[in-house]
Structure 1
């Protein structure tokens, strides 16, 4: 059959291009003497093999490490053993980079065998179908894709390492062994982590690297191809947009301040002008004709000044740049036979795409903070306009909405510490004012979205609008999109009610009209998974989307969903393009907006080739799902009832686990959770209320998911799914569930992503806990649900093993898991030692050992996305 042959071809290519070349270059890598310990590279294969055998025999990490030193390096003291383990880690984390680079260098050869979902595949389908081509052209006029880069710490490579990776990929494409050798040596001597935690601005600069070196070219390249193929001459409706959170997302991050936001906005502006100037230099080498000297010189001066001598008062120069380029183009057409028009068109397209801002800087804050700011305002006589000074938050929702007055007041704010004023309150007011300045300098799209996280009621939005009017904004020029973020299971359940209150509120109605009658709503996966488990989170979001789409249509408003989708399936990741392709008619899908973060940035958008491929898949998913809605994806009432029953069962199972008295303690004592705050990859704390004792509700979803992934148990990605399916089986609904998997793209994608998450689990590593007096029963409970879920999913899908339908991804995961297995063993060994060692110096060393292993394990997880 064709499909198996196709799969076989890809597997053969993967073996030749990835597996074999990794073995070859890894053998070279292991001979390089990096760290004055000449036998580290020689010992590492023995150590890796010893860990594999020990884990297979279900030995404890302590037994594995102790027996290795007894057999291979006898006679060294404990400090030297720790030193050797550090050297192993340094090699292994670089092996991960080598494997990444080899996979990326082989990307075009691997993807050539799989055009499904790409722009090329779409064009082949419609090559002789003019009617379909016209339909797609019309669809593209109303379709948009917004990719938003976030600073969530699920992967972090310094810029120096990213640059080496980029060069290494290019050298590996041609198997330039001399250059590869030199780059591996450079990689070996380049630090992989920061000695101090990055600031929000540091995080922004790290992610701007991807904007400058990848997205700038990838999006423009795809837009050009779409223009050519579908005759989209002008960007009447911009298809691609970039969003940016570092420096703007202050939800729970006490280190983000108004000055961070200002600096990031200025940096984004400066970097985009540097990109333009880089292209201008190419332009200048070609456009050397009479008649264009003046506009060319003017354009060059404008770009150079803004690229290298920031002009804070320059304002939005987008139209001026476009006019200069149009003038040059007219002269070329009129007097010079239209030579080199393509270079002019390319730069002009980029200026239209990225303006003076490159990526729109979103501002995000928690509703509880915004309520505090509003209460502060009520206490100021010049602001309250007769509103009660005290007790506003205790009023009913109806009373709140009735009392909010929307009167304009130009209330001053002072950046920095203001005597007698809460810094968070002052920052919020100053940031609201700053958004106006950013729009004046970089253009409206530079910062026009304010996201209210933990949004629970309509008054949360109205309060924020009132704060804008208290901060100098005018009603007629309130060029801001106010976006609620619904994330917990309960908030998702009531989201439609909240939005209907807004849609029927006179002031909000007027505001929406000024914003093109378009509403954006953000739905978050991370906290809903932590709150209700994998199945309930996915189903709650699906149901919320259906209800929100219906209520928004009722009021004739255009709706765009913004999905907070993390890297791993437990945080909404997985096969993202399949997720969007599976949306049925009941869900608004003309606009695709999603966060990309952590390992997702480097794995899916780390090079121009991979970025183009993944962006094209999202475009394809959005266009084809609207043109050819798969009626099988329309869930009828029977299907919905079945999923609801399963989601409820899964939810009860997950909540029971969360309420287990050992749940938080297990995570704290057996995973690196308590040490995550010492890892210098993020400017944000691992939990809210940093000084208080650990509570699950305060724990950030990223820390929560990361801790389970370090344990190699990935509980948030599967727990409760097996019990839910078992209940369907026990109640005679099994065949319905099998039919649902075969017929519903949504359900299949959810199950396939669950299996991807499970394929990253390895309970053998913690198998020694089965006999632990304190944690034994709890571990067995987790393992039982894992085994049940695995077995029943294989039965549901008709497969013999997890991810059987995705053999390349399966092999890639297996290779990565094999590379980092020693890191996992070392981490659990060090965590065990921390409980018994009393020497403070050794205790510090073991803590650092744990922290260092986290880097490699997290970075290797890129294909969780």
Structure 2
């Protein structure tokens, strides 16, 4: 479909449906919400016209009250604003559901990045054998995290799920009933979710989306690419899982939590098998087969509800027996259904998704220090880092966790529990330990040493130890750290036992927060090149695991284009990414979306190796130019970070301090426990999210336009244009930055330019936005931002229209708080409620 056709199709099947169902929605008899549907358009119009005239959010909201209501008291007015927020939250869910239900129609099977497109290209270019060869040793792993960017309560999740189905059937009666249910169902978590609650939220998707979507997608891969000599490996599609295992900065994740979540993953996949088997037995009712499947069903039931255990090998053995009887006695009737079940068991095992452990290197160091101080017999004050490591790697001491307290005890308990989890869920159930804030060799060796202290012999450490390089310092140190590790005999032996394979994680979110958009992306690109070379020289297969958030400011954006643009200098053995918050629901939230986006990742990695494209590999001149732009933009971004108003602006003028009060995630919003807010303690998600709420999206563009303009002033703009046309990597960065700017709306905060304290700082940001926007358009030749992406552009436009009144309410409340006017407690609640609605509406949050 051409851009115009796509745009028209979106208008017909999304925009028009939204208008129809929204009119139905407006007439529903919601408690305390009567007339809101009629008042809301007035607040939208007041906002739109008011911002264009330079009015403040306070003036806009007060004029709305004066012109369209007879309310006088502050209490009446704020009550109405709460009702409007509730109403808009439900409009967002309705639009989400309509857009999601239309996904398959908007994305035909043969478009770029799909399996069908890959197959057709491979056939046309006689590269089918090369694609099969690549598939033998390639895979995609999507790792679900519980980072707090969106969590509907589970009751709302289920309505969303059913509403999509009803919209796909155009069942007006069912839609009407579900909209009524939506109106009467609370959208707020009354309390902060626990890590276990977060795990259950995502396990819902495992059971009701990914069990089928990955099973069906594997069947398509097999159908297209299998032949008599090749069957696609079942681990070509993998799921990872962080809730319950990620304790970085989250004191609520304990060893007990990890065990509990592992058990839940185990029982959940068995429930999926049990349900699948129930359907299977309707068809496979033949003598010999039916008895085997009934017995397997009983075994699964006992494992789910009676604390028996069952292994995937045991399930597969029964399936194999049934297949043989089916072939020998029943002409192989319905064997394809049994084969599909077998494939699911091989994909999901008894683990469903691989649970990762993650902890900060500084926490490990404090644990090691306490252990050495208590158990080594050495004078702790005089021990060097080298001596600590030597003791750690040579001691035969085995610790009892109960000899310690708090974090040390919990860390040791957790490592001891890994054996039990692997025994029950299989080794794929928990197979790696990730270390945040890695920048030294000791960060990896500390974890290796902790396993030894917990009684593991070296050949029992069936875990990949994964450093996470995420700050500028960490990325700079990455190559040196890995070269030292590869040269160390004890670690090299560990790698040999792990198949000479090393996973390394790179943090886009913290990298961007630390270094700015362009610098972070380029730094990670170069770091990957260096790490690839270091691994290749030692015969080690390196796998990169990218900590990418939803928005471009956290490494998200156009994912297929990003991975398809990686050149030959970067290892392409597997694509692994984190998916979090609203990206789970918006990008992988239903079967069609999940299949499509898994396809996009899979084909990006395969295309990169199989199809020739000179735009993937950077020339020396292109590298130097990106390096120059990255350094200039980094300097500009660093100046902004160093501005004395940077942190105060976020603290006083944005929603930063309200993130932790929204009850959407279990984790604190900053790492340190002190009351003073420091830049280095800010977590990337509330940091990026606060800029998003302000509709300023600074981390997604700041410094980029300045860097391009510096070269333009030197008469070198043609060089940058040639880079944009000649490098897929650079073009993707530009397009992703455009996405951030397209979701910016500076008229919302025009009033800040007159603020005595922050006016100059606001102007610095606005000027850079204007410069970046104008130069990106000139560079690309576009007339508007995101010109090549009509579907995303139209979706953003409608969402921005829905939430504009919500933004007005939020800024109105913030202004009241800043001025110290009225009931502060009520206005803070308004900020939090509108923040929650905006987060859910943003889908990719920037």
Shift of 1:136: 0.9
Q: Please name the residue that 1:410 is paired with.
A: 398
Determine the C-alpha separation between the residues in 1 that align with 2:792 and 2:110: 13
Q: Please name the residue that 2:249 is paired with.
A: 252
Shift of 1:283: 1.7
Question: What SS class does the counterpart of residue 601 from structure 1 fall into?
Answer: helix
- 1:201 matched to 2:192? The reply is no
Summarize deviations over 1:421-460 as a string: whole Å, max 9, x none: 4411111111111111101111111111000110011111
Contact 1:407 1:466 in 2 (8 A): no
Q: Please name the residue that 2:44 is paired with.
A: 48
Determine the C-alpha separation between the residues in 2 that align with 1:308 and 1:756: 48
Determine the C-alpha separation between the residues in 1 that align with 2:194 and 2:235: 32
- 1:69 matched to 2:65? The reply is yes
Distance 1:254 1:60, change over 3 A: same
Q: 1:159 aligns with which of 154, 166, 177?
A: 154
Distance 1:127 1:235, change over 3 A: closer
Contact 2:32 2:83 in 1 (8 A): no
Q: Please name the residue that 2:812 is paired with.
A: 829
Q: Please name the residue that 1:714 is paired with.
A: 697
Question: What SS class does the counterpart of residue 246 from structure 1 fall into?
Answer: coil
Contact 2:541 2:573 in 1 (8 A): no
Q: Please name the residue that 2:138 is paired with.
A: 143
Contact 2:839 2:845 in 1 (8 A): no
Contact 1:570 1:716 in 2 (8 A): yes
Question: What SS class does the counterpart of residue 127 from structure 2 fall into?
Answer: helix
Distance 1:14 1:374, change over 3 A: same
Shift of 1:800: 1.4
Question: What SS class does the counterpart of residue 456 from structure 1 fall into?
Answer: coil
Determine the C-alpha separation between the residues in 1 that align with 2:757 and 2:738: 30
Determine the C-alpha separation between the residues in 2 that align with 1:674 and 1:133: 54
Q: After alignment, is 232-241 or 646-655 more displaced?
A: 232-241
Contact 1:378 1:388 in 2 (8 A): no
* Root-mean-square deviation over aligned CA pairs: 1.6
Contact 2:421 2:430 in 1 (8 A): yes
Q: How does 1:655-804 map to 2 (within 5 A)?
A: 655-804=638-787
Shift of 1:355: 0.8
Question: What SS class does the counterpart of residue 622 from structure 1 fall into?
Answer: helix
Determine the C-alpha separation between the residues in 2 that align with 1:124 and 1:235: 18
Determine the C-alpha separation between the residues in 2 that align with 1:33 and 1:64: 28
Shift of 1:125: 2.4
Q: How does 1:116-265 map to 2 (within 5 A)?
A: 116-127=112-123, 131-231=126-226, 234=231, 236=233, 238-265=235-262
Determine the C-alpha separation between the residues in 2 that align with 1:274 and 1:302: 12
Determine the C-alpha separation between the residues in 2 that align with 1:365 and 1:795: 44
Shift of 1:399: 5.7
Determine the C-alpha separation between the residues in 1 that align with 2:269 and 2:812: 47
- 1:367 matched to 2:355? The reply is no
Summarize deviations over 1:227-267 as a string: whole Å, max 9, x none: 22222665656211111000000001111111110110000
Summarize deviations over 1:567-612 as a string: whole Å, max 9, x none: 1110000011111000000001120000011121111111000111
Contact 2:249 2:360 in 1 (8 A): yes
Q: Please name the residue that 1:269 is paired with.
A: 266
Q: How does 1:496-535 map to 2 (within 5 A)?
A: 496-535=479-518
Contact 1:149 1:597 in 2 (8 A): yes
Q: Please name the residue that 2:323 is paired with.
A: 329
Q: Please name the residue that 2:340 is paired with.
A: 346
Shift of 1:703: 0.9
Distance 1:517 1:271, change over 3 A: same
Summarize deviations over 1:525-553 as a string: whole Å, max 9, x none: 11111111111110110010111111110
Contact 1:585 1:629 in 2 (8 A): no
Shift of 1:197: 0.3
Q: Please name the residue that 1:280 is paired with.
A: 277
Q: Please name the residue that 2:838 is paired with.
A: 857
Contact 1:367 1:453 in 2 (8 A): yes
Question: What SS class does the counterpart of residue 521 from structure 1 fall into?
Answer: strand
Determine the C-alpha separation between the residues in 1 that align with 2:235 and 2:107: 28
Q: How does 1:582-661 map to 2 (within 5 A)?
A: 582-661=565-644
Determine the C-alpha separation between the residues in 2 that align with 1:240 and 1:64: 51
Determine the C-alpha separation between the residues in 1 that align with 2:690 and 2:676: 17
Determine the C-alpha separation between the residues in 2 that align with 1:21 and 1:224: 33
Distance 1:748 1:308, change over 3 A: same
Contact 1:404 1:463 in 2 (8 A): yes
Shift of 1:833: 1.1
Summarize deviations over 1:470-527 as a string: whole Å, max 9, x none: 0021111210100000001121112011100000000011010010000000000111
Q: How does 1:75-90 map to 2 (within 5 A)?
A: 75-90=71-86
Summarize deviations over 1:327-354 as a string: whole Å, max 9, x none: 0110010001111111211111111111
TM-score of the pair, normalised by structure 2:
0.97
Q: After alignment, is 45-54 or 96-105 more displaced?
A: 45-54
Contact 1:400 1:459 in 2 (8 A): no
Structure 2 stretches lacking a partner, 5+ long: none
TM-score of the pair, normalised by structure 1:
0.95
Determine the C-alpha separation between the residues in 2 that align with 1:695 and 1:307: 47
- 1:844 matched to 2:838? The reply is no
Shift of 1:863: 4.8
Determine the C-alpha separation between the residues in 2 that align with 1:9 and 1:114: 16
The alignment covers a number of residue pairs equal to 844
Question: What SS class does the counterpart of residue 465 from structure 2 fall into?
Answer: strand
Q: 1:300 aligns with which of 293, 297, 300?
A: 297
Q: 1:60 aligns with which of 56, 61, 69?
A: 56
Summarize deviations over 1:82-140 as a string: whole Å, max 9, x none: 000011111101111111111111111110286111012122323466x4211111110
Q: 1:11 aligns with which of 7, 17, 21?
A: 7
Q: After alignment, is 247-256 or 398-407 more displaced?
A: 398-407
- 1:454 matched to 2:437? The reply is yes
Q: Please name the residue that 2:311 is paired with.
A: 317
Contact 1:35 1:87 in 2 (8 A): no
Shift of 1:691: 3.5
Q: Please name the residue that 2:531 is paired with.
A: 548
Determine the C-alpha separation between the residues in 2 that align with 1:631 and 1:752: 19
Determine the C-alpha separation between the residues in 2 that align with 1:566 and 1:274: 30
Question: What SS class does the counterpart of residue 243 from structure 2 fall into?
Answer: coil
Determine the C-alpha separation between the residues in 2 that align with 1:731 and 1:422: 62
Contact 2:277 2:297 in 1 (8 A): yes
Determine the C-alpha separation between the residues in 1 that align with 2:152 and 2:843: 12
Question: What SS class does the counterpart of residue 615 from structure 2 fall into?
Answer: helix
Q: 2:380 aligns with which of 385, 389, 397?
A: 389
Determine the C-alpha separation between the residues in 2 that align with 1:199 and 1:163: 19
Contact 1:143 1:590 in 2 (8 A): yes
Summarize deviations over 1:651-675 as a string: whole Å, max 9, x none: 1111111111111111111111112
Determine the C-alpha separation between the residues in 2 that align with 1:37 and 1:220: 43
Determine the C-alpha separation between the residues in 2 that align with 1:431 and 1:445: 17
- 1:30 matched to 2:21? The reply is no
Determine the C-alpha separation between the residues in 2 that align with 1:319 and 1:371: 39
Determine the C-alpha separation between the residues in 2 that align with 1:806 and 1:263: 43
Contact 1:813 1:863 in 2 (8 A): no
Contact 1:722 1:793 in 2 (8 A): yes
